Amino acid sequence: MKIRSTTVISVRHNGEVVVAGDGQVTMGSAIIKHQARKVRRLYNGKVITGFAGATADALTLFDKLEQKLEQYGGNLKRSAVELAKDWRSDKILRRFEALMIAVDKDYSFLLSGTGDVIEPDNGIIAIGSGGPYAQSAAQALIEHSNLDAEAICRVSMGIASSICIYTNDKIIVEKL
């Protein structure tokens, strides 16, 4: 049975970076958890990550990214590239079904098992089943409101949760 879950968004706006994620986990047509924590801080709170996909895979990737951050002195860019290389080439890791957002004070990245390390042009990254809804809302809010990054994330997540059946309104927000 396929587990579906998640909307996670990161917004970098006016000197702030915020990552927000919902708490819903769905198995088939049933909601099995309402308050999963898909957003976490790493490297002494200097890096915020969020995941979409298989939970065990994502937790392993959090650990792997933390190890890379330790190895490279907190350099998120280098750590993200090295994790993506491992993720793509390792026999076990390459089977992982997850996407990850990783941000620090300087960078925002989307990481995937295909070796992607993508830095968005506009400071917005969204993943998961409700990601396109949240990203569209955030883009509109940045262009047509005076909201700060946290408010943009909260409103965008609210919009995604009203559209995507795999996203709820139990939002976790982390801010740098």
Instruction: Report the CATH number at residue 13.
Output: 3.60.20.10
Specify the pLDDT at position 4: 55
How many distinct structural domains can be found in the chain? 1
Specify the pLDDT at position 162: 97
Residue pair 24/31 in contact (Cβ under 8 Å)? The answer is yes
**125 in a structural domain:** yes
Residue 54: pLDDT over 80: no
Residue 25: pLDDT over 90: no
pLDDT band at 72 (very low <50, low <70, confident <90, very high): very high
**57 in a structural domain:** yes
**176 in a structural domain:** no
Specify the pLDDT at position 2: 47
**120 in a structural domain:** yes
**167 in a structural domain:** yes
pLDDT band at 3 (very low <50, low <70, confident <90, very high): very low
Residue 27: pLDDT over 90: no
Mean pLDDT on 98-118: 92
Residue 1: pLDDT over 50: no
Mean pLDDT of the residues in the chain: 91
Specify the pLDDT at position 169: 94
In degrees to the nearest 10, what's the CA dihedral of 24, 132, 98, 174?
Answer: -60
The residue that leads in pLDDT, 143 or 97, is 143
Specify the pLDDT at position 119: 96
d(CA 114, CA 12): 25
Active site residues: 6
Domain that holds residue 21: 3-171
Residue 144: pLDDT over 80: yes
Q: Poorest-confidence range of 5-19, 52-66, 89-103? A: 89-103
Q: What is the DSSP string of 75-124?
A: -HHHHHHHHHHHHHHSTTGGG--EEEEEE-SS-EEEEETTS-EE--SSSE
Specify the pLDDT at position 16: 96
Mean pLDDT on 147-176: 96
